[in-house]
Amino acid sequence: MDVPRTLAESRAAGRALRDRVPRRTQGALLLPERDPVAVIEEQNRDRLQDLVPLRIGRMLESPFAFYRGTAATMAHDLRDGPRTGVHVVACGDAHVSNFGLFASPERRVLFDLNDFDEASDAPWEWDVKRLAASMYVGGRDKGLSEADCADAARSAVRGYRETLAEAFARSALDRFSFQIDTDLIEPLLLKEGRQELQRTLKKARRRTSEQVVQKITGQTEDGRTRIVDQPPVTQHVTTATLDELTALFEAYREPLRADVRLLLSQFTVVDYVLRVVGVGSVGTRCYIVLLEGPAGEPLVLQVKEATTSVLATYGGMVDALPSGLVPAGKVPAQGRRVVAAQRILQAQSDPFLGWITVEAPARTGRPRVDFFWRQFRDMKGSVELDRLSANQFVRYGELCGRVLARAHSQSPGTRVASGYLGRSDAFDDAIARWSRAYADVVESDYAALEAAVASGRLPAERDA
């Protein structure tokens, strides 16, 4: 829908939407017919086939791990559900484990969304439901009661609703510059939660390029630093020579900011490996690249394949950001989409964030492959959910909901969404009900995956 120009008109439009889509109806789960295993098989076709068993093995760890790896199935399930028609720049995979800590360019530790592979122009409700359902599924995974799981889902939605209202009490410029750092997080946590935050912060601050290099590299006989193979998670491949990778590194540098481009011009590519990451991303082409500066100082970059968003392939969206936010090109670049979304949704983004498009090998059947580049593990950290008590988990859900609202508030459509949500808890309760119903679906789908592996339909390999 077209967003009215003023805040007052937008809020009025949002309130009017309650007549067409009552907030309580958002709790209805309208599940289309689908085979969840077939969706996984379809995604596997374009992945590195020797890594597919590892992807399945990681999804089998628990229903929550399965949920993390099935953004495509959920996008399919959301497409026919109730929605207001208001779109935002959406994360596309805003589950609770995709929030975490990272370093700003000024070396402050921020808390924000950290995964944008599936980002797209999409209904604002979809990210909220992805987060809320992850609280319910994650709560069950922790052994929490159904009441605690419902509280966690409801708390995430309440945090989103309240923060969205607070955001529009600020000016557009203030919303743009607002950040959630660790000083703002602590008051939201109980005493024990603050202790867990400090433990996570301490661990994150140690995660620098120097620490990563010490952990993953060794010395060759002639004294050169090289990444050590740890198959199948980390392994050298013959995808490109160092000279070819250097050419790609130079192509990636070219459109970056002048200061970052000048900085990176002082680094030389010395090694690279294929690196398996996450759950849902296993089998996509992901590499880590080791570079050295003039004094031998290390820098580690990640180069990750950017595929079409599941919100497009399974959710029916256009697989793009709103018109005008990304420069028009002859060929849509998925890497550009991911980078643009990250810069929009994060309060501050990695200065090394960039993208390239390369010609694909003939055997892939695709004309090109898109990649995005970023720094690898620069003071990145995440809260270990299994260490949180029930109360801490509920509060953490609220925090993630607040962060999601800050990200969405950059899109004009959330002015309307805020008016639709209002000050009551009607939407909160509806999504908590929806999350419980969807958690049951996740467990049923997980059982279907277990059966598919047991029957030999899908191969599975556990991490060593």
pLDDT at 213: 84
pLDDT at 182: 60
Spatial distance between the Cα atoms of 150 and 132, rounded to a whole number of angstroms? 9
Query: Could you give the CA distance from residue 299 to residue 217 in angstroms, rounded to a whole number?
Result: 12
Residues 6+ apart with CB under 8 A from 271: 217, 225, 226, 227, 242, 289, 290
**Amino acid 330: pLDDT:** 46
* DSSP SS3 for 222: coil
Task: State pLDDT tens for residues 343-364.
Answer: 999 999 999 999 999 987 655 5
For the chain, residues with pLDDT lower than 50 are 330
Structure confidence at residue 121 (pLDDT): 96
Is 151 exposed, middle or buried (CB count within 10 Å of its CB: 0-12, 13-18, 19+)?
buried
User: Beta-carbon neighbour count of residue 295 at 10 Å?
Assistant: 6
The percentage of residues in the chain with a pLDDT greater than 90, rounded to a whole number, is 75
User: What are 385-419's pLDDT values in tens digits?
Assistant: 998 899 999 999 999 999 999 999 999 999 999 99
Q: Cα(166)–Cα(149) distance, rounded to whole angstroms?
A: 26
Q: What is the CA radius of gyration of the chain?
A: 22
DSSP string, 117-131: TT-EEEEHHHHHHHH
Record the pTM.
Answer: 0.93
Joined tokens for residue 37: 């295993």
Which has the closest alpha carbon to 26: 146, 145, 153?
Answer: 153
- Residue 194, pLDDT score: 66
CA distances from 351 to 178, 201, 307, 308, 354 (A): 18, 21, 22, 24, 8
Residue 105 has what pLDDT?
Answer: 73
Q: Show the tokens assigned to 210.
A: 């120097």
Token pair of 216 as six digits: 């993953």
Number of alpha carbons in the 13 Å side-chain half-sphere of residue 7? 11
pLDDT in tens, 98-146: 998 887 777 777 889 999 999 999 999 999 999 999 999 999 999 999 9
Phi, psi of 358 (to 5 degrees): -125, 155
Considering only CA atoms, which of 131, 88, 97, 133 is closest in space to residue 115?
A: 97
